[in-house]
Structure 1
Amino acid sequence: MDTPVVAEGLEKRYGETVALSGVTLSVERGEVFALIGPNGAGKTTLVRALTGTTEPDAGTARVLEAEPTAVDRDRLGVLPQAFSPPGRLTARELLAYYAGLYAEHRDPEDVLADVGLADAGETWYEDLSGGQQRRVCVGTTLVNDPGVLFLDEPTTGIDPAGRRTVWRLIEALAEAGTTVFLTTHDMAEAERLADRVGLLAGGDLVARGTPEDLVAEHAGSSRLEIETTAEPSAFEDLAFPVAARGEEVIVRGVSPADIGAVVDYLDARDLEYSGLSWSEPDLEDVYLALADETELERTNRTDRTGETLAHTGETA
Structure 2
Amino acid sequence: MNETAAASASAAEGRDRDAADGAGSDPVVVGEGVRKSYGEVVALDGVEIRVEPGEVFGLIGPNGAGKTTLVRALTGTTEAEGDLRVFGVPPREVDPQRIGLLPQSFDPPERLTATELVDYYGGLYDAARDTEPVLRDVGMADDADAWYETLSGGQKRRTCVATAIVNDPDLLFLDEPTTGIDPAGRRSIHRLIERLADGGTTVFLTSHAMDEVERLADRVALLREGAVVAVGAPEALIAAHGGEPRLEVALDGPAEEADTEAVRGALRDALSDRAAGAGPDAPAVESTRGGLRIVGVRPEGIGNAVDALDAAGVAFESLAWSEPSLEDVYLRLTGEEYSPRSGEVGEADPDGGDR
Common fold: TM-score over 0.5: yes
Task: Note closer, same or farther for the CA distance 1:236–1:112 as it changes in structure 2 (3 Å cut).
Answer: closer
**Aligned residue for 1:87?**
110
Q: What are the Cα deviations for residues 127-146 of structure 1, in whole angstroms up to 9, with x where unaligned?
A: 11111111111111111110
1:242 to partner: Cα distance:
2.1
Query: Partner amino acid for 2:293?
Result: I
**Aligned residue for 1:313?**
none
**Aligned residue for 1:244?**
286
Q: Answer yes or no: is the 8 Å Cα contact 1:235–1:242 preserved in 2.
A: no
Q: Answer yes or no: is the 8 Å Cα contact 1:29–1:177 preserved in 2.
A: yes
Uncovered stretches (5+) of structure 2, i.e. residues with no partner: 1-22, 269-281, 339-355
Q: Answer yes or no: is the 8 Å Cα contact 2:57–2:205 preserved in 1.
A: yes
**Aligned residue for 1:281?**
324
Cα distance in 1 between the residues matched to 2:90 and 2:316: 61
Residue 236 of structure 1 aligns to a residue in which SS?
helix
**Aligned residue for 2:31?**
7
- Residue pairs, 1:150-169, within 5 angstroms: 150-169=173-192
Cα distance in 2 between the residues matched to 1:269 and 1:136: 56
Q: Answer yes or no: is the 8 Å Cα contact 1:202–1:294 preserved in 2.
A: no
Are 1:235 and 2:258 counterparts?
Answer: no
Query: Partner amino acid for 2:305?
Result: V
**Aligned residue for 2:54?**
30
**Aligned residue for 1:221?**
244
- Residue pairs, 1:162-311, within 5 angstroms: 162-228=185-251, 229-230=255-256, 231=258, 232-237=260-265, 238-239=267-268, 240-246=282-288, 248-292=291-335
Query: Partner amino acid for 1:44?
Result: T
**Aligned residue for 2:41?**
17
Query: Partner amino acid for 1:140?
Result: T
Residue 19 of structure 1 aligns to a residue in which SS?
strand
Cα distance in 1 between the residues matched to 2:96 and 2:130: 18
Q: Which moved more, 1:108-117 or 1:245-254?
A: 245-254
Q: Answer yes or no: is the 8 Å Cα contact 2:245–2:322 preserved in 1.
A: yes
Query: Partner amino acid for 2:263?
Result: F
**Aligned residue for 1:49?**
73
Query: Partner amino acid for 2:307?
Result: D
Q: What are the Cα deviations for residues 135-181 of structure 1, in whole angstroms up to 9, with x where unaligned?
A: 11111111111000011111111111111111100000000000000
Uncovered stretches (5+) of structure 1, i.e. residues with no partner: 296-316
Q: What are the Cα deviations for residues 44-95 of structure 1, in whole angstroms up to 9, with x where unaligned?
A: 0000000000101x20111112211111001111111111111111100111
Query: Partner amino acid for 1:70?
Result: E
1:251 to partner: Cα distance:
1.5
TM-score (norm 1): 0.90
Cα distance in 2 between the residues matched to 1:156 and 1:294: 22
Equivalent pairs counted in the alignment come to 294
Cα distance in 1 between the residues matched to 2:296 and 2:175: 36
- Residue pairs, 1:46-125, within 5 angstroms: 46-56=70-80, 58-125=81-148
**Aligned residue for 1:309?**
none
Q: What are the Cα deviations for residues 245-293 of structure 1, in whole angstroms up to 9, with x where unaligned?
A: 2453222221111111111122234332233221111010000000008
TM-score (norm 2): 0.80
| Aligned-residue identity in percent | 59
1:235 to partner: Cα distance:
2.5
**Aligned residue for 1:305?**
none
